[in-house]
Chains A and B, each alone.
Chain A
């Protein structure tokens, strides 16, 4: 049985629908990211789990118990906020021990738990500091320790790293994941950063306009996007416009050149279909055997450091392909005719209801 369940959750703000038909089951110890752009409903959904917003319809179950009628302070849900939300009038130790003091735990237990939490976040020497005496990264670690100190049944993180600089973000997300794994706590992580979601999650929920676009593991979301939106939102990708030739066999025509996908196409013969191919799945035809080949003109070469991105025009479409950079890389001239190749498995037909 799932530990955290959202069943057909809907949220309206006046006439605006923020979340619609949201259904999700999270297993105990799972870390699920809600990923999407601004206004997609990810934070609203998180706030409904926390109890700060009341769903217009639907149920939210934690360990089988419907928590919708339960006040936020009685849900046993820990929350970490984007801007840390540490209490400025309290030291680190008092911030971490706040939830336990409120619960009326004995002083010795509070002190022991605070020590444990400080050790967990490697900040024992910061015990008596005030929030304003620490950096953003340190404050967020304390906020995490404070949320965990009460031993919550579910941990909610609302874009916890978005106020931090890039290096700290990468380091802290690894720490958060390690702590989450070591405690085995069911966690919902809201982010608009796809790299963050891909690197930290057991599963990702991609959202758009209050709806779930796709739920899957990072591998599934990246390699088998269900919709055009997911394909375009996660990583770089080519969305080729093609005409279905033998849809059941997965063959389609791109500017008169036939290619095949590993899956049947969601269109009838003669209808337009969109095929998603990641730039790193395409290579210049240099003797490597590929089932799919497309001839075109090299229109641009972009140097991106560790990779070199080539843009090839097939006439009606443009394809990006990425090659690892190395000092001996010999690239064709811009304007020359090239052949690119890719495997049928790399060619993912997109659902027509997507972007």
Chain B
């Protein structure tokens, strides 16, 4: 009797763990199906461009369309400038907030919420109204589009950079660099940035995704961007939009893979563990 009870009491935790593992696997599979099935369906649909056969003809159409390259390169250009402008604005701001103005964090958090609560259509009408008349006429300049993109990507850039800065001991590292004779610029480029590289990359790729897929600002400001092109293709064609969706997914995943590789490659934001004494 006691042997049975002992055996059962030893067996019980194992059985419970197996049950928990079973449920976890089930939810994981269901989640995976929910995510991958539509993608698989889209991919399969994109292969039906040629009647009666599976082919990549829809992809060929997409890549052959001069508008694809034109709009994609335009958006790419805008994304690069937006990333540069956003990082140039946010990195010093986040450093300043972390080092000198911790009380300003609450205000910045409010600003970071604004792009979520103000719809892009409202933002773009505000921008057009503000900058379509003197003294500042920007409505025909890509500067206004980039400024709008910077506003949209602000929460993502700020939060990524801020998280990176919080993960390192920014104050002590900057003070250590200064005590060794480094100026602010040296401290920023040789100490701070290499140690928040992953966060900066993450901010850059999030911004890239936002800019490449953005529709409202580009349409309302009448720029030949990739977002409006995708919308146009989706309206007029059948298989090419599916091919474009798959290409967009691949681009995003490629970006994530680059982040992963970068985070493994260097020492910045790496794990900290003690060795032997």
Expressed in whole angstroms, the minimum distance between the Cβ of A150 and any Cβ of chain B is: 6
Specify which chain B residues have a CB less than 8 angstroms from the CB of A137 in the assembled complex. 277
Contact code string B186-198 (vs A, CB < 8 Å = 1, else 0): 1000110011000
| Size class of the contact patch on chain A | 35 or more
Number of residue pairs A-B, CB distance < 8 angstroms? 96
Specify which chain A residues have a CB less than 8 angstroms from the CB of B173 in the assembled complex. 85, 87
Contact A73 B176 (CB under 8 A): no
Binds B, one of A97-105, A219-227, A234-242, A332-340: A97-105
Asked if B53 is at the interface (CB within 8 A of a chain A CB), the reply is no
Contact A72 B175 (CB under 8 A): yes
| Size class of the contact patch on chain B | 20 to 34
Interface of B is mostly: loop
Asked if B266 is at the interface (CB within 8 A of a chain A CB), the reply is yes
Residue from the set A71, A89, A134, A138 with the largest chain B CB neighbour count within 10 Å = A89
Specify which chain A residues have a CB less than 8 angstroms from the CB of B195 in the assembled complex. 87-89
- Report the bound CA distance from A75 to B175 in whole Å: 13
Asked if A286 is at the interface (CB within 8 A of a chain B CB), the reply is no
In chain A, residues 140-196, which have Cβ atoms closer than 8 Å to a Cβ of chain B? Answer: 143, 146-147, 150, 156, 168
- Report the bound CA distance from A74 to B182 in whole Å: 9
Contact A73 B178 (CB under 8 A): yes
Asked if A247 is at the interface (CB within 8 A of a chain B CB), the reply is no
Contact code string B245-277 (vs A, CB < 8 Å = 1, else 0): 000000000000000000000111111111111
With contacts A79-B175, A134-B275, A137-B277 known, is A89 near B180, CB below 8 A?
no
Asked if A78 is at the interface (CB within 8 A of a chain B CB), the reply is yes
Contact B270 A81 (CB under 8 A): no
With contacts A85-B169, A87-B173, A89-B194 known, is A132 near B271, CB below 8 A?
yes
With contacts A81-B176, A137-B277 known, is A88 near B183, CB below 8 A?
no
Which residues does B use to contact A, with CB under 8 Å? 168-169, 172-173, 175-183, 186, 190-191, 194-195, 266-277
Nearest 4 A/B pairs, CB to CB: A99-B180, A85-B176, A89-B194, A79-B179
